[in-house]
Structure 1
Amino acid sequence: MGFRRRMLRAAAVVEVAVERVFHRGDLSRLLIEPYHGYATPDHLVVRGRVLAARDVDLIDGASRLANARQMMRMFATHEVANVTVASGNCTAISDAEGYFTLLLPRPDADVAGWVDVPVTIRPEQPVSGIVCPVLVTRPDARYVVISDIDDTMMHTGAWSMARNLWTSLTGSVVSRVVFPDAVRLIVELGDAGRNPVFFVSSSPWNFHAFLDEVFGRAGLPRAPKFLRDYGFGADQFLTGNHGDHKGSAIDRILAAHPGLPAVLIGDTGQQDATIYADAAVRHPGRIGRVILRTPGPGPDAMDLSEVERLRGLTVPVTLGPDFTDALAAVRIAVSDGV
């Protein structure tokens, strides 16, 4: 048996064990976990996941151990495959990890902002109905904002695996620290909802509701997120990497907003400069600005080389330990009509 197969089997055993310890789902009652969707020129992209019904309260635990147990419960979901999900006449089938994507016709041109899409499971069940919010970009938008999360929006320590795991698994909705300057930057760039904001992270989809709560408490606007699927299946074991995931998300967001440039926000802890430079090569003229925080040990030689590559592609880059310079640069650009 090959290494990949052995790891896959071991991961499956761990996943089942965690579910037996923490899971309290009821397979006789299915629910839809809604994710924030977005719009393309032709469709509303409605996203979510079918799970067995259960209760997980987002609380500030009395201890790090209590917080860690709560985090483990977020992973102990019982996903349900091959379930028909519907909105009106549009249907989709949940995949092996319970995920589904519904493509609905885009509404009239005068509809913009958040649209609530009712979604049900067929045949309908008592707890199956839910509303999935979808962001329709305003016609007067000037650009899209695409931001990383870990060590860009909030402190994680992602440049260190041990620090990252400790922070992620022992934090709560109250204790997780969102950088105040990041909130100011996103609010300013969003311009009261005029410009759409998207968050991209390698955090698992199980953290979606947790991140929503943390961001809402900090004053960040509601925004679609592109997170990663860390499910284990017969043909899947953590496929792809951070760069592949983030680059693919940028591609999809830009494809959904033809003609609009993008402001990319990240940090130097996880090769964001390289990912963003590659995106600028794939999408000539579409990357209007790159903003990078320099956490932990700061940028290394590779980061600085990639920053110069971005600038060689005529992409303005601002980097520093905080977003003070970035905020000033954004305000100057806005006042100049850029």
Structure 2
Amino acid sequence: MTDRDDIRHAPQQVKSILQHALIQAEEEQHRQCRVVSSSPNTSAAGPEAPAAAVALRTTSAATSNSDMPTVAVPLGAVSAGTALPAASERIALRRRLQWKNPLKQLVRKSIIGVFGVWLKLSTNLVQHLNWFPSVKPYVGYGTEEYSRLVCRTIYAPTRAKPHTPMRGIHAMLEVPAAHERVSIHIDGVPLRTVQVGTMEVYDRNDPARAQTMAYSVSDSAGYLDLLAEHRLQPGVHRFSCKVPRRGPVEAELFTIPSDAKVGVISDVDDTIMVTQVPTLWKAAYNMLLLSPRKRASVPGMAVMYNDIRRMFPDAPFFYLSTSPWNVESSIRNFILDYGFPDGPLLLRDLDPRPKTFVPSGVQHKLEYAEQLMEDFPDMKFILLGDDGQKDPSTYAEIAKRYPGRVLAIGIRQLSARESVGGLASVAGFAATQPMPVTDVPVFTGATGSNIRKTMLPYLQQFV
């Protein structure tokens, strides 16, 4: 075989190797899920019959069609009645799955190695520039019994303003300040007893794990995930974080009333903010290079969200997104600038080192969904997302795991211009996802006004 033939066949060989590795990973994951499903926690009466699923047609007035086919979406192997593994068990399971795939493990080790080199060089650079640690608190939430707080320690110039919106490329280059001492106050009262959690892993409220200390210490990525037992009245409070040599920095803390019966979980990208995630080069430009002040809102979504807020005045809005915490300030200002109901952002940690690796978008959303379901056991949720990523199947899985806890699902359908073109079609990625197959009512449309026409009359019965 000639050198030219080798070059021509090399991409096919690499593709075959990657496909084989992915198939092995999927088979191992399915095998582990079957092991979990057949554990002693399952019913002694034998295997549970699969629940009947009702396939709903598109209910938007603008897009409904009596000839529209129904597409079945796989909902995963964990049944609704199966108890989910504890956080430590899930971490161990992820590690076992990773070691079963040498190719994936090699790629991840390489990424972690490159990240470590960049982190070492950038830390030396900012220290040479006389930058020193600062803290960025993110908007928290909680019940009347306890609060969940997240902040991050990063290196910054002397006069840096922590909550200033910036382009995504600047935010992504923030250099974490690891293992920094952080003191926290809620409404001016020092917070002494806290439970230190793990980023991207749901931590239950466990008083036995609480520690009493004058300060808490951030992890190797600069993050500090705290659960604080501190009784508060429902409403919006203020909490502040402080590191040595810096003044305190404040953020909001939403305390949700115990009698709130309805909550909203919303995606961000292409649900309320135009990002065009399926088209990779456009998504990269919008997320990294576009000015935060030039971000566009999805038409009609702010109106629909505020209509839901008027229907359920006590309903909290949780913005659950796969965007990184680095861009929290930009998304926060977008929400306020376009008049969306304010609420906590639940974003993703992209540092691969403290965990087994960067969590997938589905894994990230399911983890936070579990946290919200457990934090508010009497609350039912409205799930709002789009079909540009995996929101339809993810929301169907949430509805399956927590039967009776999801009132409705709203899916914004991306236009053809948003969902195709560029590198997405070259790389072979699916532009949009099929609608979920679930017994929960699903409302779809290209804009907020389309979804609003059918969803709001349905929700009126729960007021």
The TM-score, its normalising length taken from structure 1, stands at: 0.83
Task: Report the CA distance shift for 1:201/1:25 in structure 2 as closer, same or farther (over 3 A).
Answer: farther
Q: How many residues align?
A: 317
Q: What is the CA–CA distance in structure 1 between the aligned matches of 2:306 and 2:333, rounded to whole Å?
A: 17
Does 2:443 match 1:318?
yes
Who is 2:172 aligned against?
A: 75
Residue 266 of structure 2 contacts residue 318 of structure 2 at CA under 8 Å; is this kept in 1?
A: yes
Which of residues 230, 239, 258 in structure 2 aligns to 1:117? 239
Displacement after TM superposition at 1:334 (Å): 4.4
Does 2:249 match 1:152?
no
Which of residues 39, 42, 47 in structure 1 aligns to 2:150? 47
Task: Report the CA distance shift for 1:58/1:37 in structure 2 as closer, same or farther (over 3 A).
Answer: closer
Alignment-mate amino acid for residue 337 of structure 2 = R
Residue segments in structure 1 that go unaligned for 5+ positions in a row = 60-66
Which of residues 325, 329, 348 in structure 2 aligns to 1:209? 329
Task: Report the CA distance shift for 1:167/1:83 in structure 2 as closer, same or farther (over 3 A).
Answer: same
Alignment-mate amino acid for residue 302 of structure 2 = V
Q: What is the CA–CA distance in structure 1 between the aligned matches of 2:137 and 2:413, rounded to whole Å?
A: 33
Q: What is the CA–CA distance in structure 2 between the aligned matches of 1:221 and 1:24, rounded to whole Å?
A: 42
Who is 2:345 aligned against?
A: 225
Q: Secondary structure at the match of 2:294?
A: coil
Once structures 1 and 2 are overlaid, which stretch shifts more, 226-235 or 13-22? 13-22
Q: Secondary structure at the match of 1:278?
A: helix
Task: Report the CA distance shift for 1:95/1:25 in structure 2 as closer, same or farther (over 3 A).
Answer: farther
Larger RCO (CA within 8 A; separation ≥ 6): 2
Does 2:400 match 1:281?
yes
Q: What is the CA–CA distance in structure 2 between the aligned matches of 1:8 and 1:138, rounded to whole Å?
A: 42
Once structures 1 and 2 are overlaid, which stretch shifts more, 76-85 or 264-273? 76-85
Q: What is the CA–CA distance in structure 2 between the aligned matches of 1:7 and 1:98, rounded to whole Å?
A: 19
Residue 142 of structure 2 contacts residue 253 of structure 2 at CA under 8 Å; is this kept in 1?
A: yes
Displacement after TM superposition at 1:170 (Å): 1.9
| Identical-residue share of aligned pairs (%) | 22
Task: Report the CA distance shift for 1:20/1:149 in structure 2 as closer, same or farther (over 3 A).
Answer: farther
Does 2:314 match 1:194?
yes
Q: What is the CA–CA distance in structure 2 between the aligned matches of 1:71 and 1:23, rounded to whole Å?
A: 23
Who is 2:78 aligned against?
A: none
Who is 1:242 aligned against?
A: 361
Who is 1:294 aligned against?
A: 413
Does 2:392 match 1:267?
no
Q: What is the CA–CA distance in structure 2 between the aligned matches of 1:331 and 1:233, rounded to whole Å?
A: 44
Displacement after TM superposition at 1:20 (Å): 7.3
Q: What is the CA–CA distance in structure 2 between the aligned matches of 1:203 and 1:112, rounded to whole Å?
A: 28
Task: Report the CA distance shift for 1:120/1:281 in structure 2 as closer, same or farther (over 3 A).
Answer: same
Does 2:299 match 1:175?
no
Once structures 1 and 2 are overlaid, which stretch shifts more, 47-56 or 252-261? 47-56
Which of residues 210, 221, 229 in structure 2 aligns to 1:105? 229
Q: What is the CA–CA distance in structure 2 between the aligned matches of 1:186 and 1:2, rounded to whole Å?
A: 44
Structure 1 or 2, whichever has the larger Rg, is 2
Alignment-mate amino acid for residue 325 of structure 2 = W
RMSD between aligned residues: 2.9
Task: Report the CA distance shift for 1:26/1:296 in structure 2 as closer, same or farther (over 3 A).
Answer: farther
Q: What is the CA–CA distance in structure 1 between the aligned matches of 2:169 and 2:271, rounded to whole Å?
A: 24
Q: Secondary structure at the match of 1:31?
A: strand
Q: What is the CA–CA distance in structure 1 between the aligned matches of 2:431 and 2:325, rounded to whole Å?
A: 33
Who is 1:38 aligned against?
A: 141
The TM-score, its normalising length taken from structure 2, stands at: 0.62
Displacement after TM superposition at 1:141 (Å): 2.4
Alignment-mate amino acid for residue 154 of structure 2 = L
Alignment-mate amino acid for residue 228 of structure 2 = L
Residue 23 of structure 1 contacts residue 73 of structure 1 at CA under 8 Å; is this kept in 2?
A: no
Displacement after TM superposition at 1:113 (Å): 1.6
Residue 299 of structure 2 contacts residue 447 of structure 2 at CA under 8 Å; is this kept in 1?
A: no
Alignment-mate amino acid for residue 221 of structure 1 = P
Displacement after TM superposition at 1:223 (Å): 1.2
Q: Deviations over 1:208-260 (max 9, x none)?
A: 0111112211112221111111114376542x211101111111112111111
Displacement after TM superposition at 1:171 (Å): 1.1
Residue 138 of structure 2 contacts residue 151 of structure 2 at CA under 8 Å; is this kept in 1?
A: yes
Q: What is the CA–CA distance in structure 2 between the aligned matches of 1:113 and 1:175, rounded to whole Å?
A: 31
Task: Report the CA distance shift for 1:326/1:222 in structure 2 as closer, same or farther (over 3 A).
Answer: same
Q: Deviations over 1:249-303 (max 9, x none)?
A: 1111121111110000001111111000110111110011000001144798994
Once structures 1 and 2 are overlaid, which stretch shifts more, 321-330 or 282-291? 321-330
Q: Secondary structure at the match of 1:250?
A: helix
Alignment-mate amino acid for residue 11 of structure 1 = F
Q: Which has the higher strand share?
A: 1
Alignment-mate amino acid for residue 447 of structure 2 = D
Which of residues 93, 99, 111 in structure 1 aligns to 2:217? 93
